[in-house]
């Protein structure tokens, strides 16, 4: 009988104590945020709990989780010269509305993007045209 009474009293204490439940944070009034006061144009805003500052996006949030650190650094070095024989064109998603995309070196690129020191100037249904300072290059899809 003593065990039952002890168990029931412990259960009642947990129910009334809230089992360690914390109060939810106070809502942030949007009118008090600096972004609401600025009318200079669209800005990237972040939300934070009252009394805290929001951290800007760290590199951890912007890195590709499917690439190793070495592969990621290759993509960040856009200005380095890339030999043409190492460029691999995997696929082309062609659109006549100038929204075509190409998968080149594992990256999804569009007209105007750069890979190494070369810029994509045109995407055709079966080829991508790149240009560096002096020359234009045509990279074709390999037939199966």
- Given this model, what pLDDT does residue 76 score? 62
- How far is it, in rounded angstroms, from Cα 111 to Cα 92? 12
Token digits for 118?
């070369």
- How far is it, in rounded angstroms, from Cα 108 to Cα 62? 16
Q: b/e string for 87-116 if b means 16 or more Cβ within 10 A? A: bebeebeeeeeeebbbebbeeebebeeebb
- Given this model, what pLDDT does residue 36 score? 47
Compute mean pLDDT per 10 residues along the chain, 144 residues long, and list them: 81 68 65 51 49 52 70 62 78 90 92 90 93 89 81
CB-CB contact of 101 with 87 (8 Å): no
- Given this model, what pLDDT does residue 56 score? 52
- Given this model, what pLDDT does residue 43 score? 46
- Given this model, what pLDDT does residue 19 score? 53
Q: Residue 32, by phi and psi: left (phi above 0), alpha (psi -120 to 50) or beta?
A: alpha
pTM summary value: 0.45
């Amino acid at each position: 009988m003593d065990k039952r009474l002890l168990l029931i009293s412990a259960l009642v204490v947990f129910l009334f104590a809230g089992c360690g439940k914390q109060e939810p944070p106070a809502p942030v009034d949007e009118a008090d945020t600096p972004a609401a006061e600025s009318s200079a144009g669209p800005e990237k805003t972040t939300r934070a709990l009252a009394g805290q500052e929001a951290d800007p996006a760290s590199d951890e949030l912007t890195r590709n989780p499917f690439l190793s650190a070495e592969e990621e650094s290759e993509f960040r070095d856009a200005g380095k010269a890339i030999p043409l024989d190492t460029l691999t064109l995997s696929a082309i998603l062609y659109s006549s509305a100038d929204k075509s995309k190409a998968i080149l070196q594992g990256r999804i690129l569009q007209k105007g993007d750069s890979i190494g020191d070369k810029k994509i100037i045109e995407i055709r249904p079966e080829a991508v045209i790149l240009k560096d300072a002096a020359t234009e290059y045509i990279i074709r899809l390999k037939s199966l």
